[in-house]
Amino acid sequence: MSNSSWKDQIQKKWGPHKHCPICGKAMAPDKRLCSQACNDNYISQEKKQKKKGRRNTIMMIGCLAAMILIMFVLPFASG
């Protein structure tokens, strides 16, 4: 009967490591991403997210402007 679980055995075998957030491969813990390919992937994903965020902001401002317009113009138009 052994006390060590399979998790301990894996940790002993692989040592301290973390997983690449892009491809999920095991890598050195001081690295952010495992390879140049994943680095490029990460940067393009970040760019895409930033673009999406900007579009959402514009949409929100547009909705707000429309609401303000309706709130202020409608009473005058109907009155």
Question: What's the min distance (Å) between Cβ of 24 and Zn ion?
Answer: 7
Which one of the spans 9-17, 25-33, 48-56, 61-69 is the region binding Zn ion (CB under 5 A)?
Answer: 25-33
What's the Cα-to-Cα distance from 10 to each of 18, 25, 32, 34, 78, rounded to whole Å? 13, 15, 22, 19, 73
Q: Report the residue from 17, 18, 23, 45 that binds Zn ion according to the rule CB under 5 A.
A: 23
When binding is defined by CB under 5 A, the residue of 5, 19, 38, 43 that contacts Zn ion is 38
Backbone phi, then psi, for 59, in 5-degree steps?
Answer: -60, -45
| Binding status of residue 22 toward Zn ion by CB under 5 A | yes
